[in-house]
Structure 1
Amino acid sequence: MDEIPRKIALGAIGVWRHDRTEPELAVALEGLGYGTLWLGNVTDPDLTEAERLLDATDRLVVATGIVNIWSLPADRVARAYRRIAERHADRFLLGIGAGHPEATKEFVRPYEALNAYLDVLDAGGVPAARRALAALGPRVLRLAGDRTAAAHPYLVTPEHTRRARELLGAGPLLAPEQKVILEADPARARAIGDATLGLYLGLTNYVGNLRRLGFDDTDFADGGSDRLFDALIVHGDTGRVAEGVRAHLDAGADHVALQVLHAAGTDPLPAYRALAGALQPAGGQPGPGARLRAP
């Protein structure tokens, strides 16, 4: 009988990246104490970017956030997982998800499609303990708890994290993404973050989830209300960002994946470096659910 893999250790704080990540940045993030690097724009079913980043680092967990089930074949992804797991079994988390209907013409019965994809991963030797599922609504959150190691909600508030933890119970990992802008001036922060937020306000899965959290049409008009912006994008100095991250951990998250938004053409590493001290848990290396130092 195959040994069941131990629970993967994501650390309390990670980094979520949409852009291609070079190994040098991964090494730097590992050195700053971040526990996991999430790859947000996975288009290669052979997962070569994840493998390259794992090869370049020693402790950093690399997670896909996400592999889209409609565009990357499950059998090929399973083969890629097995290849990578031969050398990095405890540092690679395969995150999958259904994306959103506006981007995928095949988007029909996504719950059934997710189950079918997970069936192929089962048959292909990808253990549930090394899988995560993008999840917003209750049904898919339950599926994440039943068939994977972790739920990975995107574009959510600490209130969503609280509800997700209540639904999941104590066992499954809960790893929400959180957008942050290291900018104390609200107007400059909005100038940086408006375009990113606007990308999601025409997507029914995100808007539907935000409605469940109490937002309405006035919040979705004209690029998003100030109330919506402030709820979804933590902005301010390092202390304010640490408060926003702590809100998710206090609500039941095991791990928070930070997506730093920054002005076009600028390097995000200085922001991650500045945040690292404020986000470092008391007592050393990040750990799931650890208490952060007061800023």
Structure 2
Amino acid sequence: MNIDLGLLGAHLREHEVTPETAAEVERAGYGTLWLDASPPADLALVEQLLDATTRLVVGTSVVNVWTADADTVAASYHRIEAKHPGRFLLGIGIGHREVHAEWASPYDTLVSYLYRLAAGGVPADRTVLAALGPRMLRLARDRTAGTIPCMVPVEHTRRARSILGAGKLLLPGHFALTEADAERARAVARSNPPGFALGVTNYANNLRRLGFTDDDLSHAGSDRLIDALVAHGDPATVATRLLAHQDAGADQVGVYPLGEDPIATLLSAAGAVHAVKAG
């Protein structure tokens, strides 16, 4: 793959990001800006963010197969690639059964979607899957450039690398909050994702596979679970916890910022990570 994603990825939702904030994220040293949730198939915001930056890669985390027509997404990919070659990575996901009434046969649906993208000329090495379980990870390994999982502790990264093998992208996202008071940090986490996302079936099942119990998953997460999903503390501690994914086999660590000012959280995390790597 001829695309430089960088060590750090910044995860932001549509309402949190503008062309100006994309440029700020780029200046902070992020290699990729991931557009979260379910961007529409025309990917117009992706193009705007690329227009406003010079080297930043923009990716989707993720295009939802239930809401974004594959043929339209393929046409959008070609439009963006022609204008900004080597700066766009298409992340694809199956969504959640709690949200989509049409949910059925998630594995087969993803396979069919990938076939339609391929028929539309989207290269396999420019797509990644939001894969959690072993079967989806093997699909990501065999049919795409790799995986972009979220709501995952470091142990998932370690296990995912063993399934993917060498040469496939492993791009986990991890929540981060610069907050030295552990109880305050956990309270913020419980009142946002990850806390209120623990009732989502595919996230909960994945965490159970990793050894967390129903007690851990109840009441918006035990301290043990929240601490595994959220890097919190002073900036150096946050950086060390994020970089643990790299030590476990990640190619890039994606930062999901928590707190009232997500951009400030991203800037703090980037500065601390670069300081740790330099020192």
TM-score, normalization by structure 1: 0.91
- Secondary structure of the residue aligned to 2:238 is helix
The alpha carbon displacement at 1:251 in A equals: 0.3
The alpha carbon displacement at 1:7 in A equals: 3.6
- Secondary structure of the residue aligned to 1:244 is helix
Give distance in 2, aligned partners of 1:42 and 1:52: 17
Alignment of 1:72-87 (within 5 A): 72-87=68-83
**Does the alignment pair 1:218 with 2:215?**
yes
The alpha carbon displacement at 1:192 in A equals: 1.6
The alpha carbon displacement at 1:19 in A equals: 4.1
**Does the alignment pair 1:71 with 2:67?**
yes
| Aligned 8 A contact 1:7 1:129 in 2 | no
The alpha carbon displacement at 1:164 in A equals: 0.3
Give distance in 1, aligned partners of 2:203 and 2:226: 14
User: 1:286 — aligned with what?
Assistant: none
User: 1:270 — aligned with what?
Assistant: 264
User: 1:27 — aligned with what?
Assistant: 23
The alpha carbon displacement at 1:217 in A equals: 0.9
Q: Which moved more, 1:267-276 or 1:221-230?
A: 267-276
Aligned counterpart for 1:158 among listed residues 139, 154, 161: 154
User: 2:5 — aligned with what?
Assistant: 10
The alpha carbon displacement at 1:281 in A equals: 7.2
- Secondary structure of the residue aligned to 1:178 is strand
**Does the alignment pair 1:142 with 2:138?**
yes
Cα deviations by residue, 1:177-233 (Å, 9 ceiling, x for unpaired):
000111000122123211222321211100000001000111111111111110111
| Aligned 8 A contact 1:133 1:144 in 2 | yes
Give distance in 2, aligned partners of 1:221 and 1:191: 14
Give distance in 2, aligned partners of 1:9 and 1:150: 14
2:199 maps to a residue whose letter is G
User: 1:60 — aligned with what?
Assistant: 56
User: 1:289 — aligned with what?
Assistant: none
**Does the alignment pair 1:47 with 2:32?**
no
The alpha carbon displacement at 1:106 in A equals: 1.4
Aligned counterpart for 1:171 among listed residues 163, 167, 171: 167
Give distance in 1, aligned partners of 2:197 and 2:47: 29
**5+ unaligned residues in a row in structure 2: which ranges?**
none
Give distance in 2, aligned partners of 1:160 and 1:245: 13
Of all paired residues, the percent bearing the same amino acid is: 52
Q: Find runs of 4+ consecutive structure 1 residues off by over 4 angstroms.
A: none
- Secondary structure of the residue aligned to 1:103 is coil
| Aligned 8 A contact 2:195 2:226 in 1 | no
TM-score, normalization by structure 2: 0.96
1:211 maps to a residue whose letter is R
**Does the alignment pair 1:250 with 2:247?**
yes
Cα deviations by residue, 1:145-177 (Å, 9 ceiling, x for unpaired):
111112011100111000000110001110000
Give distance in 2, aligned partners of 1:100 and 1:109: 12
Give distance in 1, aligned partners of 2:147 and 2:2: 14
- Secondary structure of the residue aligned to 2:219 is helix
- Secondary structure of the residue aligned to 2:98 is helix
Cα deviations by residue, 1:265-295 (Å, 9 ceiling, x for unpaired):
xx3222222222221278xxxxxxxxx234x
User: 1:191 — aligned with what?
Assistant: 187
| Aligned 8 A contact 1:101 1:107 in 2 | yes
| Aligned 8 A contact 1:63 1:93 in 2 | yes
The alpha carbon displacement at 1:99 in A equals: 1.2
**5+ unaligned residues in a row in structure 1: which ranges?**
1-5, 283-291
Across the two proteins, how many residue pairs are aligned to each other?
A: 277
Give distance in 1, aligned partners of 2:7 and 2:100: 33
Give distance in 2, aligned partners of 1:222 and 1:272: 27
Aligned counterpart for 1:209 among listed residues 199, 206, 209: 206
Give distance in 2, aligned partners of 1:46 and 1:256: 27
